[in-house]
Amino acid sequence: MKIAHQRPEGNHTGRQIGLMGRTSTKALPVWRMKVNESFFLIIFFSCLFFLSTSYPAPAVPPRRIVSLAPNITEILFDLGLGKQIVAVTTYCDYPREALSKPKIGGFANPSLEAIVAARPDLVMLTEDGNPQEIEAKLKKLGIRTYVFRARSIEELPEAIRQVGLFLEIGKRADKKARTIQEQLDRFQGDTAKRSSLKRPKAIFVIQPEPLIVAGPKTAMDEAMSLLGLNNIAGGAAAHYARYSLEETLRQQPQILFVGKSKGMEEDVKKLLKRLRRLDAVENGKVYAIGETLYRLGPRIITGLNEMKAAVDQSGL
């Protein structure tokens, strides 16, 4: 690390600056030189400590980024940083280019060894899903990290702006964020037209067996609210709540969403058979929704539009 020394103002023609600002041609005593040297070392190492613990934008934009979450991967590609990504998780499958990137393990259990082997100058994590201890381990190894902290659709635009500022592409990120915000505002405007007395009951199934549904403060819950629906699991104790068939039948949701996932088709059929007395099932108001709502990224609007199309089709 190079330390830039500022030249004193004025023409001192080689004369030394005394402690009180006077010029002197006398050499400093040895003991005073040692004190000055010790003082300089204290300042030097204090600066190093500050730089290692602060969270400013990198001095040089990162060229080797490891992404530990699918939504982060999508955001980076959307911001034009695909070439800088050197590794992703096994769940990072969009865009298509992400499939060819080296893998560092799963979303919830990334391999520290694989991350280090990718020689990153930045690892990007998400607060909602990645193990908390992984960031501490990376920092201990001297690897710079960035934590994506958005947990809701509402927080997404500002979170994208913050990513852009950190990576020194603020204008590009702000443009993307404004586009998402404008579309969210449009959804909210449409919802405002719907009477609070006409908010149809809805449920979003995450997993059919055992039955896990989208509870409060999830993207799916927020999406239902944006679309003027009343999530019957909105008062559940967990974000992704285990729900009983009995309570589902008692609540009688008028529309039922099921998150698409490979390998769940048979379990979904069994669930719908058990819920055959449900209004939504009897009236054919069951809709499969793609993975885009599971990921807080640029495709969140695609998921909202998909849900809106289902609501429109239902006639509710």
pLDDT at residue 168, as a whole number: 94
pLDDT at residue 289, as a whole number: 95
Please give the Cα distance from 93 to 80 (Å, whole number).
Answer: 17
Considering only 44-53, 74-83, 109-118, 133-142, which range has the smallest mean pLDDT? Answer: 44-53
pLDDT at residue 17, as a whole number: 32
Structure confidence at residue 261 as a pLDDT band (50, 70, 90): confident
CATH 3.40.50.1980 describes domain 65-179: yes
Considering only 56-70, 145-159, 261-275, which range has the smallest mean pLDDT? Answer: 56-70
Summarised one tens digit per residue, pLDDT across range 130-141 is 998 999 999 999
Summarised one tens digit per residue, pLDDT across range 203-254 is 999 999 999 999 998 999 999 998 999 999 999 999 999 999 999 999 999 9
pLDDT at 22 over 50: no
Structure confidence at residue 186 as a pLDDT band (50, 70, 90): confident
Contact (CB, 8 A) for 172 and 164: yes
Structure confidence at residue 151 as a pLDDT band (50, 70, 90): confident
Mean pLDDT of 111-119: 97
Mean pLDDT of 296-309: 94
Percent of the chain with pLDDT over 90: 68
Structure confidence at residue 114 as a pLDDT band (50, 70, 90): very high
pLDDT at residue 306, as a whole number: 95
pLDDT at residue 57, as a whole number: 60
Please give the Cα distance from 77 to 98 (Å, whole number).
Answer: 9
Mean pLDDT of 66-82: 97
Between 40 and 17, the more confident residue is 40
Between 116 and 188, the more confident residue is 116
CB atoms within 10 A of CB 72: 27
- Domain coordinates of the chain in residue numbers? 65-179, 195-314
pLDDT at residue 80, as a whole number: 97
Asked if 65-179 and 195-314 have one fold, the answer is: yes
Summarised one tens digit per residue, pLDDT across range 77-108 is 999 999 999 999 999 999 999 999 999 999 89
pTM: 0.76
pLDDT at 24 over 50: no
Between 43 and 304, the more confident residue is 304
Contact (CB, 8 A) for 248 and 203: yes
CATH 3.30.2290.10 describes domain 195-314: no
Mean pLDDT computed over every residue of the chain:
84
